């Protein structure tokens, strides 16, 4: 089977719903996700950011029992500094079996905690084209 690698990327300084989005080109199965985030300019305890990948145009971060979110990463500065510092986090997840349909839109939401200057997120989605999921997905 062929595999398509999709990329979502955003660089924001304030919480942004649907900071990036993409349309899936053809039916397939999402098998892996690489989600990386860095926060530059964090200078106080608790500064940081979060990112979520979702089938919904509205963020589900902080929401219980959302059926649309399938990846999330968060990083927070845990020290004080007199200058800006960079903090980062990543999530690498394989072995997924999430059905995606051609034309379906996937969104990247970015949250900003406190006052970091910039939250930068890169997300790669690995989709096995034409594959059939072993289970149905409820949206």
Whether 101 has a pLDDT exceeding 70, the answer reads yes
CA atoms within 13 A on the CB side of 52: 22
Q: How far apart are CA 75 and CA 105, in angstroms?
A: 26
Domain boundaries, the chain: 3-129
Task: Classify 20 as helix, strand or coil.
Answer: strand
Do residues 8 and 125 lie in contact, with contact meaning Cβ atoms separated by under 8 Å? yes
**In this prediction, what percent of the chain has a pLDDT beyond 70?**
81
The pLDDT-based confidence of 138 (bands split at 50, 70, 90) is: low
Q: How far apart are CA 109 and CA 82, in angstroms?
A: 29
pLDDT at residue 40 in the model: 78
CA distances from 98 to 3, 63, 105 (A): 14, 21, 14
Q: Per CATH, which fold does 3-129 belong to?
A: Jelly Rolls (2.60.120)
Burial of 85 (C-beta count, 10 Å sphere; 0-12/13-18/19+): middle
pLDDT in tens, 9-42: 999 988 889 999 999 999 999 999 999 988 877 6
């Amino acid at each position: 089977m062929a595999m398509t690698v999709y990329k979502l990327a955003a660089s924001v300084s304030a919480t942004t719903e649907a900071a990036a989005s993409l349309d899936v080109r053809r039916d397939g199965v999402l098998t892996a996700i690489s989600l990386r985030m860095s926060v530059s300019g964090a200078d106080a305890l608790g500064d940081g950011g979060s990112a979520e990948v979702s089938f919904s145009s509205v963020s589900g971060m902080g929401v219980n029992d959302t059926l649309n979110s399938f990846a999330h990463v968060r990083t927070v500065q845990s020290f004080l500094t007199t200058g800006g510092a960079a903090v980062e986090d990543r999530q690498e997840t394989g072995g997924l079996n999430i059905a995606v349909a051609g034309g379906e839109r996937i969104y990247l939401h970015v949250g900003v905690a406190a006052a970091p200057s910039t939250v930068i997120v890169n997300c790669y989605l690995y989709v096995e084209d034409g594959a059939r999921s072993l289970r149905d997905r409820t949206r």
